[in-house]
Structure 1
């Protein structure tokens, strides 16, 4: 897409985050388009490494993932922008130019997600609460969760109430839905 545009020069292409860091050190690009999930070194790790090395390149994340679990770590690592792969060509070209100037670029859904985090920061679930939430997503009752975790049913009920409060929901189905939206549960782990 960029190779045919006279306003851009494509300097290189990397298969993973480690290779992207190596190429950035040698080629000194203005902007790096970085995916997050790649074999080997992932995008967030690569973004952190680029920052540690003090490289001037701006990193514009271009990915299909927009959950809290993906967006926040990338932004915290130092990404200048975050776009989804369904971004149109004209918007992507504008975004690269904007990122090159050091200005932030966010897709609308990502901006909405970040604003939501700032307005109502999520109270993180404890490891045990996540464990129970995964069991709920798998269809376990409180009694079944208690048996699997070797704790009392009353303890499970207490954890479930804390999960509801932290996620701002009133029932199991809503808890699971919100957890998937926030990236606390993923399809890959089947709720686990």
Structure 2
């Protein structure tokens, strides 16, 4: 009798074949970050954890082999490319892939970039334990989602104030350092410095290095 009941329950709620589960790829320049996020993803029964990528070549290879619904959890930098370049690559070659960008609070400028570049969702690293499972659930259902707290920050006046890192870069800009010198001083790539500068120009409502420096010297920022 019990066997019959179990068979009936199984028929009504058949297990999802592994091949039908959404495939999740995690990509970040630091393998330890990939592994940390991957350990969380592995606990979510509705998805299947795939491999990790730390550079564009390995990410391209993983995406080219992916079959069925694929979700990419992407940090703001790979070893050889920043967020904008990687998102452009993914959107061009794999438009069907759903992308979640994970960023630190100090990297909020990248969140703006991610949304403008077509990311399906964003998640702050400090909230990854609580937010990421919910975000993945929405993506599995086919819905893009930007958490309310991030939307509020994007639309608030505070979103237009400079972050700590942007203040730091603006100060070095005022000291006359070149992009290369700033990148060497802060341990960032030159492309990352350029993205920060772009965000700084937008927030200061200027369109040149000289105008940004002038506002910095005058204290109008």
Query: Do they superpose with TM above 0.5?
Result: yes
Which residue of the other structure, out of 37, 55, 60, is the alignment partner of 2:77?
37
Structure 1 distance, partners of 2:151, 2:56, is 24
Tell me how far apart the structure 2 counterparts of residues 49 and 123 of structure 1 sit (CA, whole Å). Answer: 29
Over aligned residues, Cα RMSD in angstroms? 2.9
Instruction: Find runs of 4+ consecutive structure 1 residues off by over 4 angstroms.
Output: 65-68, 120-123
Distance 1:53 1:88, change over 3 A: closer
Counterparts of 1:102 and 1:47, CA distance in 2: 19
TM-score for both structures, normalised by structure 2? 0.53
Out of 79, 87, 109, the position equivalent to 1:47 is 87
5+ unaligned residues in a row in structure 1: which ranges? Answer: 137-159, 161-171, 176-192
Tell me the distance in 1 between the aligned counterparts of 2:154 and 2:99.
18
Counterpart position of 1:21: 60
> Does the C-alpha gap of structure 1 residues 18 and 115 become closer, same or farther in structure 2, counting only changes over 3 Å?
farther
Higher helix share: 2
Q: How does 1:131-146 map to 2 (within 5 A)?
A: 131-134=213-216, 136=217
Task: Rate the CA distance shift 1:19–1:44 in 2: closer, same or farther, 3 A.
Answer: farther
The answer as to whether partners of 2:101 and 2:111 remain within 8 angstroms in 1 is no
- Give the match's secondary structure for 1:61: strand
Unaligned runs of 5+ in 2: 1-39, 161-201
Deviations along 1:119-171, one digit per CA (max 9) or x if unpaired, are: x995731212112245x3xxxxxxxxxxxxxxxxxxxxxxx5xxxxxxxxxxx
When you count strand as a share of all residues, which structure comes out higher? 2
2:205 matched to which residue of 1?
124
Structure 1 equivalent of residue 48 of structure 2:
9
The structural deviation recorded for 1:30 is 2.1
How much has 1:82 moved relative to structure 2?
0.9
TM-score (norm 1): 0.60
Counterpart selection for 2:150 from 110, 117, 128: 110
Match of 1:77 in 2: 117
